[in-house]
Amino acid sequence: MGWAIGLSLLSAACYAGAAVVQERLAACGHRGIGRWAGSVGLTLLGGGLHTVALTLGSVGVVQALGTVTLLFALPVAALRTRTRIPPAAWRDAGLTVAGLTGIMALAQSSSVPLSADAARYLLLATVFAVTGLSLAAWQSSRPVTRGVLLASAAGVAFGVSSVVTKAVLGDVSVAGIAVVGVLAVTGYLLGQASYSGGGLAAPLAMVSVANPVVAATAGALVLGEGFRFGGTGTALAVLSGAVAAAGVIGLSRRQTGTTAATTTASSNRALVHTGESIPVTGSSITASTTIRQPARTHAGPLTGSRTASTSQI
Express each pLDDT in 170-216 by its tens digit.
Answer: 777 888 899 999 999 999 999 888 888 767 777 887 887 788 888 87
pLDDT digits (tens, 9 = 90+) for 154-180: 999 999 998 888 888 777 788 889 999
Looking from the CA of 206 toward its CB, the CA atoms found within 13 Å total 28
pLDDT value of residue 309: 41
Same domain, 302 and 198: no
- Radius of gyration of the chain from Cα atoms? 25
Higher-pLDDT residue of 268 and 223 is 223
pLDDT of res. 255: 53
On whether residue 270 sits in a domain, the answer given is no
Share of the chain above pLDDT 90, in %: 16
* Residues 108, 27 share a domain: yes
Both 58 and 105 in a single domain? yes
Phi-psi region of 85 (alpha: psi -120 to 50; beta: other; left: phi over 0): beta
Q: Are residues 215 and 292 in the same domain?
A: no
What total of structural domains would you count in the chain?
A: 2
Whether residue 6 is predicted with pLDDT greater than 80 in this model: the reply is yes
Question: Is 289's pLDDT higher than 70?
Answer: no
The whole-number average pLDDT for the span 219-248 is: 82
In this structure, are 96 and 228 located in the same domain? yes
Q: What is the pLDDT of residue 128?
A: 96
Q: How many CB atoms lie within 10 A of CB 25?
A: 21
* CB-based contact 229:182 (threshold 8 Å): no
Same domain, 239 and 218: yes
Same domain, residue pair 241 and 291: no
Same domain, 26 and 77: yes
Question: Which pLDDT does position 149 carry in this prediction?
Answer: 93
- Specify the pLDDT at position 189: 92
pLDDT bracket for residue 281 (50, 70, 90): very low
Residues 7 and 104 in one domain: yes
**What pLDDT shows up at residue 270?**
44
How would you classify residue 125: left for phi > 0, otherwise alpha for psi between -120 and 50, otherwise beta? alpha
Q: What distance in Å separates the CA atoms of residue 184 and residue 192, rounded to the nearest whole number?
A: 12
What's the number of CA atoms in the CB half-sphere (13 Å) around residue 276? 8
Q: Which domain holds residue 191?
A: 2-265
Q: Output the pLDDT for position 254.
A: 57
Question: Which of 52, 62, 69, 63 is CA-nearest to residue 5?
Answer: 62
Burial of 82 per CB tally in 10 Å (0-12, 13-18, 19+): exposed
The 10s digit of each residue's pLDDT in 19-68 is 888 878 877 877 778 888 888 899 899 989 988 888 887 776 787 777 77
Is the distance from CB of 227 to CB of 173 less than 8 angstroms? no
- HSE-CB at 205 with a 13 A cutoff on CA atoms is 33
pLDDT number for residue 107: 72
Average pLDDT, the chain: 76
Q: Confirm whether 313 is domain-assigned.
A: no
Work out the pLDDT band at 228, boundaries 50, 70, 90: confident
Regarding whether 254 and 296 lie in a shared domain, the answer is no
pLDDT digits (tens, 9 = 90+) for 115-149: 888 889 999 999 999 999 999 999 988 888 899 99
Same domain, 140 and 286: no
Q: Are residues 169 and 189 in the same domain?
A: yes
Is residue 247 assigned to a domain?
yes
Q: Is the pLDDT of residue 110 over 70?
A: no
Examine residue 220 and state whether it is found in any structural domain, yes or no.
Answer: yes
Calpha distance 32→191 (Å, rounded): 17
- 221 against 260, higher pLDDT: 221
> pLDDT higher for 82 or 43?
43
88-106 confidence digits (pLDDT tens): 888 888 888 888 788 777 8
